[in-house]
Structure 1
Amino acid sequence: MNVDFEPIYLANRHRDLFTRWTTVVSLSCDDVDGTFNHSCIVLPPRHRKLTMTIEFDLDDGELAIESLLQEVVAALSRSQAFWHDLNYTPHFATVSDRQSVQISLECHVFTNMKTKSLLEQPLSILKHTDVRLFTVAALHIHADLLGRSVAAGDVVRHCNEYIVSLFMSQLEFQFPLAFSRTCRQRFLQQEAYLGSISYALTNSATMIPKLVKLISNDKTATMCYRLLQLASDRRKVARLAKFDSGVSPFQVLKRS
């Protein structure tokens, strides 16, 4: 099944470049009767890398699109710390015939053995529950580039702005175990105790998926919550305002 997000429109300072961004997240489930709902647990792929594709619709010729793709890959490569903080190892590549950039993410949080013992086996017993295990099979971003001037720098800035917005407004809320840095860290901090808690309460492992779902449902792990918490602390805001260099914007793509 697919989850589609509403399109977002961006413009550069001179209003001579407009970009339209849409995203589709593809989900898969081994359970043929599985219906996706808010009770489901969504993880990255266990047997392969999570693939994110950024496709650009540009009619300025092959050389222009190839140059743009190389610029985007270079910007992504300079911001690998973002993906490392999410406990992914990223790999970036251009796909010229599809006018796209591909990001392959190797997850270091949910291994095959860990997923099987903590989630798949307990869920196989809980046939009566609505909890199902889904996987983010792929994420596809499509960008339409419109305007008189299509400069690589503007496109990279728009791409960074859109992806950061996508993480903050959608991905962290809907698929936190795959895309929320804090949620994934909290799972790593708690995973050693999940079995003990479950056996203490039910004398079985059947409580583990529900505990994982509790971690996933905690909205204090989102970046939006943390920003609101920071904004409500006047002393912290005042200290940030005193920095001579200011506060650097968050970057998933960083220009040289």
Structure 2
Amino acid sequence: MKMLITHNGVHIVDLDTISLNGREAAGGYAFSIILKGTRHSFEDPMFVFDISLSLSLSNPDTLILPSISSSTQHIQCHDFATDQTLHFEMLLMPEQLNAIEEHRQDNDLSLKLELRALTLSGSTFWSSYNLDTITVPRAEWLTALESSGFKRTILFEVPLPSVGSDLINLLSKAQEFIETGYYKEAVIQCRHIIEAIEKARDDKTSAKEANRNSQKHENREAMTANERLLSLREQLKNICHLGAHGDEHFTRSQARAVLGMTMALLAEPTVGFIKQEEFPGH
């Protein structure tokens, strides 16, 4: 990476190192982009101000944030070179992060940065503009995501009940597998969750019977809402069986759909949630 702030073609600041960090924020997820490099020396007064960064996904070019102001808005150059660090703080909403993750899949994160600034030497103003595409390694991005609290949202806004530690661990593993590209393994975790619910509720036989009844028109018409939800849970478990048996592959969106349905059913008292002490691992 090499990003520049220039005045009439002359390099004022060369930035060649980038890091990305996350932290929790109210109502969203905070991230900081830190650019580091060198500020060059000038005998005559040279000033930089109004520094901003725009952020986009690359390939295809998709805008994330049009302007992020630097925490440093004024740089004065001296007759000696020195280190220069620029901080850019941004707040992303869940929808933006989900879009970024859909773009990233299980790869490194590729971003396009546009650095803008105004420069002044004597009475001459110049507008500096520089564009570069950078790659954030997957491990670094996942660390930033975790620090921002995004992983703890479990991707879906479903109000989960208080359940045992085993189920919480399974949910966390399922999300982590999705984030790292192991979609089949995420589906297997959902199967384990459903099996834990069956065992705690002792309704495995009832779910199988409800699913059989749903296959026949005359029986389906007489089914209650609870029975239909049991049938839905059983059908979801059948989907999860594909993750544990055979060579079936799941896409990211399919794994997210399975996890979302599993969480929704877990949150529903008639087929999922029961008293916390009855769940294993509590």
Bigger relative contact order, structure 1 or 2, given CA contacts below 8 A and separation 6+? 1
State the TM bucket, normalised to the shorter chain: under 0.3
For normalisation by structure 2, the TM-score amounts to 0.26
Q: 1 or 2, which has the higher strand percentage?
A: 2
